[in-house]
Structure 1
């Protein structure tokens, strides 16, 4: 079994500024966050007891919600309600609901970073705006995120790394509605689940559109986005083992093996 680096334990403390541009370690909890948790957890317990459709939330879930709303307990509680309501619109999502998109190879888990966070590779070239509608894409996002978050938690993590490969991205794949909804789902249905979102080798038309796209992102999400153009830089962020061979990595997606597991 692969050994992962240990992350900072869930105790209060200051951020390690030597990490440079890296997002903060999820498990570093400040005194202000501890105080917010003490206030927020009873509020969540009362809400889940009153609304049966809202599932119980762990301490880490509460921490994610609070961070997503700047430790404002009222706003975090509203986020929880809205998040669960949005999820209910699309759930449950079974493999048969997303099988067609899986077969295209649009996105799949490729491995882990050096601390055990799962890595999701997204091949944007596999998306066609005239073939894949917003609802099907949202269901696919929910399916793969739920699947990968479970893998993260098995390895003592709460967040994931996303690699969006835009090397072969074309205007045929450019759909502002899908991009906006995808970002919305990540921010509001999976708040603070993303550790790092890497945009790799974006074409000129995407770069030109970025000033408009980034208006859909909140401040926390903006800090997690990293634009890269060279594979050497990509390998500094994600190990070659978790990068597909098409980008010079070593990962090969085995659809048959994946389906055996997904359909169980």
Structure 2
């Protein structure tokens, strides 16, 4: 890959220029995945496949396996169907929430406060995290694929450390939301966090670990990271900004319920495609997914009896082909949230 196409910058923004060789790999992954039912094909745009390829250093075989695993997970977990009232209890303390501001590049900001943990259920914690990720993606501008994490360590102590939750969090985020993180800022982590970071870091891909920035309020050099990324007039005082308003669960609930109303239409094919930040080709070569195979009437009958929209979840093995859609005429690629 030529130097001008490498997608890393000091501020964490991705360069989405795609070479002809990379576009061919995107097309190859789509061919290997095969035709998909509408419910899954909406997650297989060029942008989505490109994220999976970048996460696997443009290795087609590894990216295809990763994408198939994500499709299987999304089909079973249904992250886009999680609604606020299902996870509201997890949010009461403000341990994770989407801020009402963005960074200077327009990226959604998720604020995390691990000391505000209010649940002992790993399952419930992960489900709320997935809800927050889906909501953050819903609110990304058209020209952005990534988000920012602001992690506030005020009040953090040893009781807040859970290797199990951290490992599961890393698994979900890296395997099912590749290349969604722009920068993660760890704000004022205590000294005892450093050995924990040493334990956790091996769970992370090196590329992900390099996006983690340690910022200390008494260190002018690291404070510059905040000033480079944010308008400090908008950011919370807990992060050195000028906004003294605290987290209000009632106001936040209103915002989330309004976003929940937008979620179904966001994943309709037309809207998802319009919202997708498609990579820019460096040549005139362009992929146009057409002539996908139709399925038989027998498969349609089988689909009517299936609890998973006609798709056998077990068939979605990374080593097997994905199921052929009931109606592949609408299988044009649209935006993926992974």
CA apart distance, 1:135 = 0.6
Residue pair 1:39, 1:73 contacting (<8 A) in 2 also = yes
Do residues 40 (structure 1) and 32 (structure 2) align? no
Deviation, structure 1 residue 76: 0.9
Pair 1:48–1:56, CA change in 2 (3 A):
farther
* Inter-partner Cα distance in structure 2 for 1:180 and 1:41: 30
Equivalent pair of 1:241/1:250 in contact (CA under 8 Å): yes
Contact 1:54-1:81 within 8 A present in 2 as well = no
- Kept in 2: contact 1:161–1:196 (CA 8 A): yes
Structure 1 or 2, whichever has the larger Rg, is: 2
Give yes or no for contact 1:105–1:126 (8 Å, CA) kept in 2: yes
Could you tell me which residue of structure 2 aligns to residue 238 of structure 1? Answer: 230
Give the structure 2 partner of residue 6 of structure 1: none
- Across the aligned residues of Structure 1 and Structure 2, the Cα RMSD in angstroms comes to 2.5
Tell me which residue corresponds to 1:25: 14
1:204 to 191, 202, 209: 191
Equivalent position of 2:48 in the other structure: 61
Distance 1:56 1:182, change over 3 A: closer
For residues 190 and 211 of structure 1, the distance between their equivalents in structure 2, rounded to whole angstroms, comes to 23
1:151 Cα deviation after fit: 0.9
For residue 136 of structure 1, what is the aligned residue in structure 2? 124
Instruction: Give the CA deviation at 1:106.
Output: 0.7
Worse-superposed segment, 160-169 or 247-256: 247-256
Give yes or no for contact 1:68–1:192 (8 Å, CA) kept in 2.
Answer: yes
Q: Partner residue of 2:255?
A: 261
| Deviation readout 1:76-134 (Å, 9 max, x if unpaired) | 11111212333444433221221012111011122211121111111111015xx3311
Aligned partners of 2:144, 2:94: CA distance in 1, in Å?
25
Instruction: Report how far residue 220 of structure 1 moved.
Output: 1.7
Normalising by the residue count of structure 2, what TM-score does the alignment of the two structures yield? Answer: 0.66
Cα distance in 2 for partners of 1:155, 1:112 equals 14
Q: Distance in 1 between matches of 2:39 and 2:144?
A: 27
SS at match of 2:192: helix
Name the residue aligned to 1:187: 174
| CA pair 242-138 structure 1, distance change in 2 beyond 3 A | farther
Distance 2:159 2:239 in 1: 21
The range that moved more, 67-76 or 24-33, is 24-33
Length, aligned pairs only? 246
Q: In the alignment, does 2:107 pair up with 1:117? A: yes
Q: Which has the higher contact order (CA 8 A, sep 6+)?
A: 2
Which consecutive unaligned segments of at least 5 residues does structure 2 have?
259-338
- Moved >6 Å (runs of 4+): none
Change (3 A) 1:260 1:217: same
Give unpaired runs (5+ residues) of structure 1.
1-11
Report the TM-score, using the length of structure 1 for normalisation: 0.83
Residues of 1 paired with 2:75 and 2:87: CA distance?
17
**Contact 2:7 / 2:15 at 8 angstroms: preserved in 1?**
no
**Deviations 1:188-209 (CA, angstroms, capped at 9, x unpaired):** 1111111111112111221112
Aligned partners of 1:71, 1:151: CA distance in 2, in Å?
27
Which one has the bigger helix percentage? 1
Residue 14 of structure 1 is matched in structure 2 by 5
Mapped partners of 1:16, 1:95: distance in 2: 35
Q: 1:29 to 1:54 in 2, by over 3 A?
A: closer
Gap change, CA 1:242 and 1:184, over 3 Å in 2:
farther
